[in-house]
Structure 1
Amino acid sequence: MDKIIKYRKIVRDFMQEIADMHANQEGVETEFLIDKTERHFQLVNVGFLRRVRVYGTFIHIDLADDGKVWIQQDGSDLVVAQELEDRGIPKEDIVLGFHEPSVRKYTGYAVA
């Protein structure tokens, strides 16, 4: 199976599980956004929590042409990189895009 197809399924399934876990938040909806090419995935919270506006992307993952999985945002209680690794994506194919490039070499994950 092509690496991008395999990783797309892993990321899609993971993101759907997280969206489903957040589905019962009172006043806040979790939207699971995927582009037409299924290479860009976001989980966004939208709504109000105790009269305070909630809006923002808390997980954002991109699949690059070279097969790398870029975690652009991890604002969850999970360690998204570890979750993806546990599901079959090797560390050398995961980029922690939320770290500046000079720091990535110390993360144990791909630099780019």
Structure 2
Amino acid sequence: MEKVNYKELIQTILTQHSGNDLDTETEVQLLFDTERDHYHVVHLGWDEQQRVYGCVIHVDIKDSKIWIQRDRTETGIANELAAAGVPKENIVLAFKAPYLRQFTEFAVG
């Protein structure tokens, strides 16, 4: 089986999630630090008089594993990565407390 290029796959999946699905005039930014392996999707701008700023997705690559720091998607980035060929033992749900990760089908760390 061919090894999956994590950097490229993460960028592809996050780009697919960068569509503006909010009912506001906010901007969606893709922030890719490929040198240090940090990847983000951020919503920012204004909705009338209300400031909008939030990280929707934050993924890191550490020690040859994909660490999902934040995932505010319906599908779940972990599920998309697994469907694309990333072994579940290489995906860490970092937004879950370390003692809870053992109860998921993904890596603990």
**How does the TM-score come out when normalised to structure 2?**
0.88
Say whether the 8 Å CA contact 1:8–1:38 is kept in structure 2: no
Identity %: 34
1:31 maps to amino acid: Q
Q: Which has the higher helix share?
A: 1
Q: Considering only aligned residues, what root-mean-square deviation do their CA atoms show, in Å?
A: 2.2
What residue ranges of structure 2 are gaps of 5+ in the alignment? none
**CA–CA separation in structure 2 for the residues paired with 1:34 and 1:60:** 10
1:48 maps to amino acid: W
**How does the TM-score come out when normalised to structure 1?**
0.86
2:87 paired residue number: 90
Cα distance, 1:34 vs structure 2:
1.1
Q: Work out the number of aligned pairs and report it.
A: 109
SS in 2 for 1:15: helix
What residue ranges of structure 1 are gaps of 5+ in the alignment? none
Query: What's the CA shift string for 1:12-48, capped at 9, x where partnerless?
Result: 11111111x2278641101000115161000010011
1:18 paired residue number: 17
Counterparts of 1:1-112 in structure 2, within 5 Å, are: 6-19=5-18, 21-22=19-20, 26-37=24-35, 39-64=37-62, 66-112=63-109
Query: What's the CA shift string for 1:39-97, capped at 9, x where partnerless?
Result: 10000100112432110101000001x21000000112221110111111110000000
